[in-house]
Structure 1
Amino acid sequence: MAEEQGEDRQLIIDQLIALASGIGKTFAPFCEVVVHDLSRSDHAVVHIENNLTGRAVGDPATELGLARLADPHYKQVIANYQNQLKDGRQLKSTSVGIRDGSGRYVAALCLNIDLTQFHSVLGILEQFSRIETENGPLETLETTNNDRIKKHINAFAARHASAPRSLKTEERQTLVRELKLAGLLDIRHASSTIAKYLNVSRATIYNDMKLSNI
């Protein structure tokens, strides 16, 4: 009996891995797909597509996974909840619990979508819909100085059909010059904000500023 349950569970895991592979290939590179085997909570992660979160195969179950193990009536689908990476990037996440024939949770399929590139698309739309006025400065909806920097970076990346973290060296240096002309380098901790958002070191940003005579 236990052997049959093990075979059934492995069949479920194998099917989920195939599903994760298909989803991952379809929505690469901005959608991470993770398969969890909840029968081994200490090392539940068995497959990852498009790794965004830095997790590895063999990592333990998440809090959601443990909650499903503790309560077979726990909500099966938790969709579109907000998540965030350590570097500040925003994610939209969905977690789907998978039950076996007895109704117990044995696995989970989790999707994490990096919203950064979608913000870049929003930057394109913002550029397209901008209206010039002769009667004063344009209104903005920017709420914080960091948001101003990030919005400028997103718009720049969108113009170059790229993502902020995928900018080439020459593009990044051009971006730094634009930020200077926009007065955004004068914002407190601007270099740290830029470096973190582009996933480079502050020394790299300082070097870009030096090469641009800033």
Structure 2
Amino acid sequence: MSAKNDEATNILNQLGLIARGLGETFAPFCEVVVHDLQDPNHAIHAIHNNLSGRQVGDPATELGLARIADTQYPEVIANYANRFPDGRQAKSTSIGIKDSNGRYVAALCMNLDLSLFQSLQSAMGQFTNVVKNGVTENLDTSNADAIRQRIDEFAARQATTPRALKTEDKRLLLRELKGSGYLEVRKSMEVIAQHLGVSRAAAYSYVK
């Protein structure tokens, strides 16, 4: 194994801590690997949430070898398609780390297991699927959706969100809603207050 300078050793140690934190945060769906690019034959320096079956001391991947060979290789390659040895689809991000001389000495890689999320996506798609047979029904008898849409449109004109509207803007909004007759709708103030993220008392104060 080639000798490592103090700078590279410090980089690897710091990356090891970062990898550990990321691994604990995104467990168990994301494998986090620290690669020592100074030693391509034994590049894996640390691995957390091992999803690929690799071990510390295993060799560098093609991407790692590409970085070793070319200092101009991109430092960050994000969200590229990958695959674990057992066939599971993965989404990967690789971050190359250079020393003060501009040479790649390490890399931090994250491999996200997509199989569970794909299963959940399929299940949610089935669950939310509706049959289009010509039958329609609206359980919202308070026209809440129309009020919310009017508020969203007003906020969009101000280039913001309903909850981020300034007090003066909220007063102007309530005047518009009142002028359009929306305040006559049952429970309208409750819907408005909820969508603006304020109390009903505050919503009423904007009408004054």
Inter-partner Cα distance in structure 1 for 2:111 and 2:8? 24
Inter-partner Cα distance in structure 1 for 2:97 and 2:124? 39
Residue 52 (structure 1) aligned with residue 51 (structure 2): yes
Q: CA deviation at 1:9?
A: 0.6
Residue 13 (structure 1) aligned with residue 12 (structure 2): yes
Inter-partner Cα distance in structure 1 for 2:55 and 2:104? 22
Deviations 1:129-171 (A, max 9, x none): 1224669xxxxxxxxxxxxxxxxxxxxxxxxxxxxxxxxxxxx
Alignment correspondent of 2:85: 86
**Aligned amino acid, residue 65 of structure 2:** L
**Aligned amino acid, residue 57 of structure 1:** V
Residue 70 (structure 1) aligned with residue 75 (structure 2): no
TM-score norm. by structure 1 comes to 0.58
Q: CA deviation at 1:120?
A: 2.5
Larger Rg belongs to = 2
**Aligned amino acid, residue 49 of structure 2:** N
Alignment correspondent of 2:28: 29
Q: CA deviation at 1:64?
A: 1.0
Alignment correspondent of 2:120: 121
Q: CA deviation at 1:127?
A: 2.9
| Partner secondary structure for residue 79 of structure 2 | strand
Aligned pairs (5 A) from 1:1-214: 6-132=5-131
Deviations 1:28-52 (A, max 9, x none): 0010000001111110101000001
Inter-partner Cα distance in structure 2 for 1:118 and 1:94? 17
**Aligned amino acid, residue 86 of structure 2:** D
Inter-partner Cα distance in structure 1 for 2:43 and 2:76? 18
Inter-partner Cα distance in structure 1 for 2:81 and 2:90? 6
Alignment correspondent of 2:154: none
TM-score norm. by structure 2 comes to 0.60
Inter-partner Cα distance in structure 1 for 2:101 and 2:84? 35
Q: How many residues align structurally?
A: 132
Q: CA deviation at 1:70?
A: 0.9
Segments of 5+ residues of structure 1 without an aligned counterpart are 136-214
RMSD (Å), alpha carbons: 1.7
Pick the structure with more helix per residue.
1
Question: Percentage identity across aligned positions?
Answer: 56
| Partner secondary structure for residue 10 of structure 1 | helix
